[in-house]
Structure 1
Amino acid sequence: MKTPFVTLEQLQAITAQYPTPFHLYDEKGIRENARRLRAAFAWNPGFKEYFAVKATPNPAILKILREEGCGTDCSSLTELMMSDRCGFQGSEIMFSSNDTPAEEFVLADRLGATINLDDFTHIDFLQETIGHIPQKISCRYNPGGTFSIGASKEGFQVMDNPGEAKYGFTRAQLTEGFRKLKAMGAKCFGIHAFLASNTLSNEYYPTLAGILFQTAVELKEETGCEITFINLSGGVGVPYKPDQPANDIAAIGEGVRRKFEEILVPAGMGNVAIFTELGRFMLAPYGCLVTRATHEKHTYKEYIGVDACAANLMRPAMYGAYHHITVMGKENAPCDHKYDVTGSLCENNDKFAIDRMLPKIDKGDLLVIHDTGAHGFSMGYNYNGRLRSAEVLLQSDGSTRLIRRAETPDDYFATLIW
């Protein structure tokens, strides 16, 4: 069973001030989770979490994370601009992009961000664009093939296909790239990789770390480059379904430490800093989409219409992703009604749930759609002219603060030339 981080009484008060739908975030949960992550990697003096801005691009959230010692991982011009405006500086910003426009490399360099190159050809492009190669540089590694760690003790198998991904250097390109970058003036090097998404296994990060640590040792021997950091990127997931096991970040950190001691320390690389880029793990459970039941329909199936739609949360429509739903005030009622929970878009995939067993839902009921704190609001769009919703922060003291107002028709029309 998933329990919302907000009560019905709290929501009734919040919705009296902010009309549904809106995304609600839990400041207390965000801070506690950031501290658990930091504690899990406290054994590494240089550890830093670079929060993936694309997951939740809101200044209020970014400022909370900065207070908790995090940096930002950016992949676009506007994400760099937002990080800058939120007070992140220099090495607090990691810029990882692909098919990168020149202006984005220019801004990343001006801000002093650590640039993580996605492709061998980007070395010359970067040089031509900014006129030099930064002294500190990183390269993204794609080992190709199929990545698998088999069955974990939780019974979950991690499999993905890096060879089908558009990202990263091949292994041979990594060696050639390090040599070329060194000859062009780079002094400090990093390695980055992302091999699987939303893994529910404490073994994923240690396995990835082992691959990257061994690669780092080989690259140092082959090129003589000084590797100062290794970025394990993202991929540590969250349990969207109530019966899925949650990752144990302390166990994950300990697993990475063992690989570090086993591989890097004997190679004389015990001073390498470990970085992470966790968007989903950092934020998903600490955000929810609050919506209200507005219609019911009885045809070939039973439908509940809500005032949110896929424009507010795209993942179920786009991926068939599961997001748990709590009918507030009916948490302990029997789930004896089968519904499709739908939005108002003129698309049949605009459904938050299909054939979901839920308590009887009445018009006016408040629904909490769980785990939308990452890749929720940020993936919103304006199809059908639907307007993007507000974002509200439930602060640690129990008060609320509007951190993004809802769009208005004037916003929607503002970029049009009549």
Structure 2
Amino acid sequence: MKNADYSALAAQFGTPLYIYDFDEIGQRYTALKSQFGAHKSLICYAVKANSNLSILKLLASLGAGFDCVSINEVKRAVLAGAKPYKIIFSGVGKSDDEIKTALEIGILMLNIESGAELERVEAVAKSLGKKANISIRINPNIDAKTHPYISTGLSENKFGVVIERARELYLKAHKSEYLEPVGCHFHIGSQLIDITPIHEAAVIVSDFVSELAAAGVELKFFDVGGGIGVRYDDESEPDLYTYAQGILAALKGKEMTIVCEPGRYIVANAGELLTKVLYEKVNGTKRFVIVDAAMNDLIRPSLYEAYHKVVALNAKNSDKTSKTDVVGPICESGDFLAKDIALPSQNSGDLLLIKSAGAYGFSMSSNYNSRLRAAEIAIENGKARLIRARESFEDLIRLEKGLI
């Protein structure tokens, strides 16, 4: 982060510490939005990537919509200032209570992922005397060529319905007194560096939309999901102009609002995790740098074997490095933040900076080993401010205290 005084931030806010560049978040959103020019578009930030209320407020102020996968994400977005008519509620397992609340809030649409879910939405809408705006998540069976844990567009994945089934569901919804089909949706996977599969899926779904129109089902929203990849190591980020032009070409002149659901692209490289070295350890020939951040703070390396660049901030002999694992205090062999990376010698109290940690960092953190979740700060116009206080032991036990 430009001109950041990490030592001062560590002294003021402690470590581990999540740091977000709000100026970069705003720039990323604006850059993507601008690619669609005069064509109607809605950029719905994927709340699951990072759900801090201050980040949501920033994006809402810029006109963003929000892609939510739980009713509490919907409530977070509304609390942060989102317009309900810019909120999409996705996910394969919505409860009746979640559906009811979403309809009462008046969101843009519920994204349907199965026939059984469509029936539940219809029943809940009928009980409320409302008509539910819906889209259906189509599984185009396109290989996104990404990590299997974040691939979502193949028939073997749990998400969406095949086109043949989607056709049946759209026709059923079109005839229903309590359902209003307004959009279509697909999302084939995350961290896509090659965006060709997105364009291929867009062509398939656009042709399907034409079939639906011929059957009398006119849709207004063409939702291409998220998945735009970012640079963690040596990847080349997709060109946004090429990305947008491929989608526009697939639409073939249809007057539909294009909906995108970026999460990682907006926040990943705008966030960093600052951690303090506790000590070094050598087991035989194996070197470890033990830090105060752990897999409960950033689980991506353990879960996906994901790479995050680690920068030594206090190293005096930066030209003398050796291979090391950067590990945390958690009682698990899988507790690591980096493996076999070159780092100079570290002393207790030195600081390491873990890059590209703005997405799926804090939002996937936990209290495993009864560890307290980190504080979060925003850097905006060169000034730092706290946007989530560090948890205390009282926070940790609040829901249990008095019940023993």
TM-score, scaled to structure 2: 0.92
Task: Name the SS for the 1:13 alignment partner.
Answer: helix
Post-superposition CA distance 1:267-305 (Å, at most 9, x none): xxx211100111111111101111011111011310000
Which residue identity is paired with 2:281?
K
Asked if 1:175 corresponds to 2:167, the answer is: yes
The equivalences for 1:28-177 within 5 A come to 28-45=23-40, 47-113=41-107, 114-131=109-126, 134=131, 136-144=133-141, 147=143, 162-177=154-169
- Among all aligned residue pairs of Structure 1 and Structure 2, give the percentage whose two residues are the same amino acid: 30
Task: Name the SS for the 2:203 alignment partner.
Answer: helix
Task: Name the SS for the 1:162 alignment partner.
Answer: coil
**Cα distance in structure 2, aligned partners of 1:30 and 1:317:** 26
Residue in 2 aligned with 1:314?
299
Task: Name the SS for the 1:194 alignment partner.
Answer: coil
Post-superposition CA distance 1:140-162 (Å, at most 9, x none): 11134x52589xxxxxxx98761
Post-superposition CA distance 1:240-288 (Å, at most 9, x none): 11x211222122112222223xxx32xxxx2111001111111111011
Asked if 1:12 corresponds to 2:10, the answer is: no
Asked if 1:283 corresponds to 2:260, the answer is: no
User: How many residues of Structure 1 are paired with residues of Structure 2 in the alignment?
Assistant: 394
Contact 2:321–2:342 (CA under 8 A) maintained in structure 1: yes
Residue in 1 aligned with 2:309?
324
Post-superposition CA distance 1:110-141 (Å, at most 9, x none): 11111111111112111222325635320111
Cα pair distance change 1:160/1:120, threshold 3 Å? closer
Which residue identity is paired with 2:191?
N
Residue in 2 aligned with 1:238?
230
Deviation for aligned residue 1:100: 1.1
Residue in 2 aligned with 1:257?
248
**Residue range with higher mean Cα deviation, 105-114 or 125-134:** 125-134
The equivalences for 1:401-412 within 5 A come to 401-412=385-396
Residue in 2 aligned with 1:155?
none
Task: Name the SS for the 2:347 alignment partner.
Answer: coil
Deviation for aligned residue 1:336: 2.5
**Residue range with higher mean Cα deviation, 329-338 or 32-41:** 329-338
**Cα distance in structure 2, aligned partners of 1:334 and 1:246:** 29
Deviation for aligned residue 1:335: 6.5
Residue in 2 aligned with 1:194?
187
The equivalences for 1:255-404 within 5 A come to 255-260=246-251, 264-265=252-253, 270-300=254-284, 301-330=286-315, 333-334=318-319, 336-395=321-380, 397-404=381-388
Deviation for aligned residue 1:14: 1.4
Contact 2:125–2:131 (CA under 8 A) maintained in structure 1: no
Cα pair distance change 1:138/1:160, threshold 3 Å? closer
Contact 1:89–1:111 (CA under 8 A) maintained in structure 2: no
The counterpart of 1:184, out of the listed 160, 176, 190, is 176
- Gapped runs of 5+ residues in structure 2? none
Cα pair distance change 1:72/1:159, threshold 3 Å? closer
**Cα distance in structure 1, aligned partners of 2:74 and 2:196:** 32
Task: Name the SS for the 2:43 alignment partner.
Answer: strand
Which residue identity is paired with 1:35?
T
**Cα distance in structure 2, aligned partners of 1:378 and 1:149:** 25
- Gapped runs of 5+ residues in structure 1? 151-157
**Cα distance in structure 2, aligned partners of 1:188 and 1:128:** 15
Post-superposition CA distance 1:8-61 (Å, at most 9, x none): x6112211210011111001100111110011122422x011111111111100
Contact 1:239–1:245 (CA under 8 A) maintained in structure 2: yes
Task: Name the SS for the 1:121 alignment partner.
Answer: helix
Asked if 1:207 corresponds to 2:205, the answer is: no
Contact 2:302–2:337 (CA under 8 A) maintained in structure 1: yes
Which residue identity is paired with 1:294?
L
Contact 2:110–2:132 (CA under 8 A) maintained in structure 1: no
**Cα distance in structure 2, aligned partners of 1:405 and 1:48:** 32
Residue in 2 aligned with 1:24?
19
**Cα distance in structure 1, aligned partners of 2:153 and 2:325:** 32
Task: Name the SS for the 2:221 alignment partner.
Answer: strand
**Cα distance in structure 2, aligned partners of 1:274 and 1:44:** 8
Which residue identity is paired with 1:400?
A
Contact 1:334–1:358 (CA under 8 A) maintained in structure 2: no
**Cα distance in structure 1, aligned partners of 2:84 and 2:333:** 46
**Residue range with higher mean Cα deviation, 344-353 or 318-327:** 318-327
**Cα distance in structure 2, aligned partners of 1:335 and 1:207:** 48
- TM superposition outliers: structure 1 runs of 4+ over 4 Å: 158-161, 329-332
Cα pair distance change 1:81/1:331, threshold 3 Å? farther
**Cα distance in structure 2, aligned partners of 1:64 and 1:204:** 31
Contact 1:149–1:203 (CA under 8 A) maintained in structure 2: no
TM-score, scaled to structure 1: 0.89
Which residue identity is paired with 2:25?
I
Contact 1:23–1:391 (CA under 8 A) maintained in structure 2: yes
Cα pair distance change 1:41/1:172, threshold 3 Å? same
